[in-house]
Structure 1
Amino acid sequence: MSAPDGPLDPRGVRFAAIVTTVVLALVLLSGSGWLALAQTLVFALGAFAGMRFTPYGVLYRLVVAPRLGPPAEREPAAPVRFSQLVGFVFAAVGTVGYLAGLPVLGIVAIAFALAAAFLNAAFGYCLGCEMYGLLARARA
């Protein structure tokens, strides 16, 4: 991964989770491997380049954030980037499934990614961030 992002506005992270939830639901409804590929690329940008480079992050910064006050708190970027990596893996598997004519693989992998995105969008619970914390404690 490249240089880490600075602390993140948790509202931006949640906004990205909401958009991701919508996109992944559309993938499941349409069965579109190309839309799954687009979301996979968004996850890749977040995981490997940083959240500030994702289209959802840019949209939040340019359109949504100026209409809000400053965030009350910020959260570290590393757990969020790890969650983007996990999303990337599931979305990549789902994309391969859809584009290779294995729709069950696509559906299952995208459904897992959708469940994680929905937990963050609806409840502010970042499953990948929790996994990051567990792995960090296991390493220590």
Structure 2
Amino acid sequence: MPDPTPGVPVRVDPRGPRFAAVLTTLVLLLVLLTGSGVLLAAQAVVFALGAVAGLRWSPYGWLYRRLVRPRLGPPRELEDERPPRFAQAVGLGFAVVGAAGYLSGVTWLGIAASAAALAAAFLNAAFGYCLGCELYLLAVRSRARLSNG
């Protein structure tokens, strides 16, 4: 789905991605406890929807908007959707690698990829530190430096 206004970044309530990180943390803990490549593949679909279509199309974004947001006051500020979408793409990469590991019998790969994704999701859920968002900002700054000099 395209953004509503081309060229204008979508702004989101920053509590939504943090809520999604809590759910992602729980799912990834369950993946590590069960070794379920199928559950990790389902999480990959959630990541893909958020990365490709936008956070509003993610199931966790939908849950936030329908169940949580109405019970909260308005956010103090909105933030650019691009860094959390990039973070979803990074999570997608780890989930795809992990699901492939679990489903092909390379369990150590499934565990390693799931644990890495869990660490990032937990940082966001517990501390509000989005590692993928920081990677996005680093990439933007690096690209700007390269194009300017």
Give the TM-score taking structure 1 as reference length: 0.97
Structure index of larger Rg? 2
**Alpha-carbon separation, structure 2, partners of 1:3 and 1:99:** 34
Secondary structure in 2 matching 1:3 = coil
Mark the runs of 5 or more structure 1 residues left unpaired by the alignment.
none
Bigger CA drift: 127-136 or 2-11?
A: 2-11
Q: Which amino acid aligns with 1:74?
A: L
- Count residues with an aligned counterpart: 140
* Misfit runs of 4+, over 2 Å: 1-5
- Equivalences for 1:37-116 in 2 at 5 Å? 37-116=41-120
Give the TM-score taking structure 2 as reference length: 0.91
Bigger CA drift: 65-74 or 1-10?
A: 1-10
Deviations, residues 12-49 of structure 1 (Å, cap 9, x unaligned): 11000000000000000000011001000000000001
The percent of aligned pairs where both chains have the same amino acid is 64
- Aligned residue in 2 for 1:125: 129
* 1:22 counterpart (19, 26, 30): 26
**Alpha-carbon separation, structure 1, partners of 2:75 and 2:25:** 23
- Tell me the C-alpha RMSD between the 2 structures: 1.2
Mark the runs of 5 or more structure 2 residues left unpaired by the alignment.
145-149
